[in-house]
Each structure stands twice: as C-alpha cells, then as structure tokens.
Structure 1
C-alpha cells in the first residue's frame, strides 16, 4: 500500500479537494465523481459525501493508496 502524508493548514479540507491536492485526480470534479462512485474510504468506512470535511487525524483510502492527514 502506498502511503501519503498530508499536512492540514486549517481546520479541515473537503474530501474532493484533498484527492486533488495529493494528485489522485486532476480536478475537484473528478474527485467528486470518485467519491460518488464509492471508491473512497474515510477511517475505514465508505464515504459518499463529496465535500465531507476531513480533519487532522483522519485516514483516507483510495484503492491501494492511504492518505494520513496531520495538523500542519
């Protein structure tokens, strides 16, 4: 499994924007489509809310990629 660390510089980031910023998708729209398709897990649970607020300490998984979100 590939592991990515993301440093959060504010209280939260929207899930679709996180996917874009770490380079898993080319745009926020593509991130929304990925989330809507059920391909994204947040803390081990499938997340279908495209703009779900991701906060420090949470883990996001897409396929074999894991993103650990930490406070910046």
Structure 2
C-alpha cells in the first residue's frame, strides 16, 4: 500500500490531486475521464467524484493501479 501525504497546513487532498501525485494521470483535466473509465473505491465505497475530499486514514483502491492510504507524515 502506497502512502500519500497531505501537505502541511491542509486538512484534505482531493481524489483528482491523489491521481496526479500518484502519477496515474498527468493533468487535472484527465481526472474526470479516468474516473469514468476505472473502478475506484474510497473506504470500500465506489467513488467517481474527482473533488472527493480524502482525509487522513482514508483507504483508496484503484483497480489495476494499486492501493493508497492518506497520511499526514
């Protein structure tokens, strides 16, 4: 499981930002298309909103891409 850190001073990261940080997409504009074509779950619930707020402890699974957890440090 890969860890994705929230920047200091912020409370969350969006799903679209996670996709960019993880190197799955290159630009934010690709997020909506990617999410419409791939199965993504956040805490075992299906998710397709690029603006979904991810907070510390959230577990994200992207079929064929891996699993991620949100951390502060």
Q: TM-score, normalised by structure 1?
A: 0.83
- Give the corresponding residue for 1:20: 20
8 Å contact kept, 2:59–2:69: yes
- Give the corresponding residue for 2:4: 6
For these two proteins, the number of residue pairs brought into alignment is: 70
8 Å contact kept, 1:36–1:50: no
- Give the corresponding residue for 1:58: 58
- Give the corresponding residue for 1:35: 35
Unaligned runs of 5+ in 1: none
For residues 68 and 42 of structure 2, the distance between their equivalents in structure 1, rounded to whole angstroms, comes to 10
- Give the corresponding residue for 1:71: 72
Q: TM-score, normalised by structure 2?
A: 0.82
- Give the corresponding residue for 2:46: 46
